[in-house]
Amino acid sequence: MPRMIDLVRKSEVPSNLMYAAARGALAVPPAEAIEILVHLATHNKVFGDEARITLAGWDEKASIAAASDPSTSREVLEYLISPNNLRPPLLPALIENSSVPADLLIPLARDGTREVIAVLLRSERIRSIPAVVEGLRANPNLTNEETKQLPALEEPVTPEPLGDDGVAENEELEKFLREHAAEIEAEGRKPFQPIGGVQEEIELAVQTEPEEAPVAEPAASATETDASVSESPAPATEPLIPHNATVVASVTKPKTIPASARGPKKPVAGEKRDSTLQKIARLDIKGRIQLAMKGTKEERSLLVRDGTKLVALAVLESPKISDGEVERIASQKNVLEAVLRQIPMKRRYAKQYTIIRNLVFNPRTPMDVSLGLVKNLLVTDLKNLSGNKEVSETIRKMALRMLKQKADAAGKK
């Protein structure tokens, strides 16, 4: 006799039994019950919401048993460890389960909260997987002290060769430049003009950018030196700092070095963000597109706010961008509408519930996009959205309508 899960997969079960299965009320072993629930939650549009609610409150002991069992199906393990579904008590069992592959652990390491990081750092298994350790290094929630400890968790951690990744990045970049060549040409040398809250930082960073110190001459006086770089001509004395000098003066070398002997200027310590802003502000459109595709997480976070649409969209095309970054972008109000419109058009992101939810709750998301995504929200989020005064009244009414429809559908079962 076939197992119930096999019948459910083939849709050979009456609707009343399917509803009972979604509520976890079938008389089957716990391991099979959770497998049925995950299948319904993932693949069944009618009973999926009910199954997800049941899984969220499923018996903790039975859930831990499934999470720690190497024979548990990959579909169940993928569901349990997904950031959208993860229950903290299950995490230790999941990360120690040999059937949970590294590709499912890397997103947790890269984007996990402080609580997740604490569990990962205690795991012996995590210490043995270089790719997961590297994911932890990239997590912005990791403290400096924990970062220093990471090499001890996995030594040596050999960087993976950049050849294939570099080729992929270059291919994506060339493809993007080729497809948008006419638009890039039309934009010319349009400067970096970020949307909301960053322009003032750029102006300040450029104003305080250290300039090369002038070559001191024996007869030079303190008043003849640069206003922001003040040095004494006498080698035995401390450099004189005018009362109106900028903060950059504090990093000026006390010893005068001829311009010809100076190497490239280095970023001022503690001013990494200013340095990044200065770097971006100097680039033309093509240079910013290249940086958006191949740069760092910090550079992407700034470039996605670029008022030039092509540059902002190039961030979403970067092979390096993570799902966690896109989740944050989806909730930002200081990005172009074109960026928010583009996110759900990518299949990779259209499957991420958190991204979809963030887009709908973002008042900057174009209304037609939000209206098309509301139907994907869970009941709890629909209820919250219907009372959210930040979004338009049309979106609130749509959420209320969908909430009533789901309530009616549940009442008929």
246's tokens: 């900028």
* 135 and 70 part of one domain: yes
Sign of CA pseudo-dihedral 375, 53, 410, 25: positive
The number of domains in the chain is 3
278/371 same-domain check? no
pLDDT of residue 413: 59
Is-contact 148 173, C-beta < 8 A?
A: no
- 64 falls within a domain: yes
Residue 147 lies in a domain: yes
The predicted pLDDT at position 198 comes to 52
Asked if 306 contacts 312 with a C-beta cutoff of 8 angstroms, the reply is: yes
Is the separation of the CB atoms in 331 and 357 below 8 Å? Answer: no
User: How do residues 302-320 score in pLDDT, each as one tens digit?
Assistant: 999 998 899 999 999 998 9
Q: Are residues 274 and 369 in the same domain?
A: no
Please check whether residue 314 lies inside any domain of the structure: no
Residues 367 and 244 in one domain: no
Tens of pLDDT along 324-352?
999 999 999 999 999 999 999 888 888 88
On whether residue 304 sits in a domain, the answer given is no
Q: What per-residue confidence (pLDDT) applies to 63?
A: 93
Q: Are residues 20 and 142 both part of a single domain? A: yes
User: Is residue 245 domain-resident?
Assistant: yes
Check: CB of residue 368 under 8 Å from CB of residue 341.
no
pLDDT given at position 350: 86
Structure tokens at 395: 């979106």
Domain membership of residue 175 (yes or no) is no
- Residue that is written with structure tokens 């887009």 in the block: 359
d(CA 413, CA 394): 29
| Residue 263 CB coordination number (10 Å) | 6
By the 8 A CB rule, do 323 and 341 touch? Answer: no
Last residue of a domain, one of 136, 153, 170: 153
Residues 45 and 147 grouped into a single domain: yes
Q: Where are the beta strands (DSSP E) in 131-253?
A: none
- 101 and 230 inside one domain: no
Q: Say if CB 75 and CB 36 are below 8 A apart.
A: no
CA distance 89 to 7: 31
Of 130, 153, 176, which marks where a domain is finished? 153
Q: Which residues of the chain have pLDDT under 50?
A: 151-165, 200-254, 257, 259-270
Same domain for 234 and 124, yes or no, is no
Q: What is the pLDDT of residues 38-94, one digit of tens each?
A: 999 999 989 999 999 999 999 999 999 999 999 999 899 999 998 888 898 999 999
**In this structure, is residue 122 part of a structural domain?**
yes
Q: Are residues 129 and 232 in the same domain?
A: no
Inter-residue contact 71 to 100 (CB < 8 Å): no
Phi-psi region of 270 (alpha: psi -120 to 50; beta: other; left: phi over 0): left
CA 410 to chain centre: 35
Q: Which domain holds residue 138?
A: 4-153
d(CA 45, CA 187) in angstroms, rounded, equals 45
Residue 80 sits in the same domain as residue 9: yes
Q: Which DSSP category does 247 fall into?
A: G
310 assigned to some structural domain: no
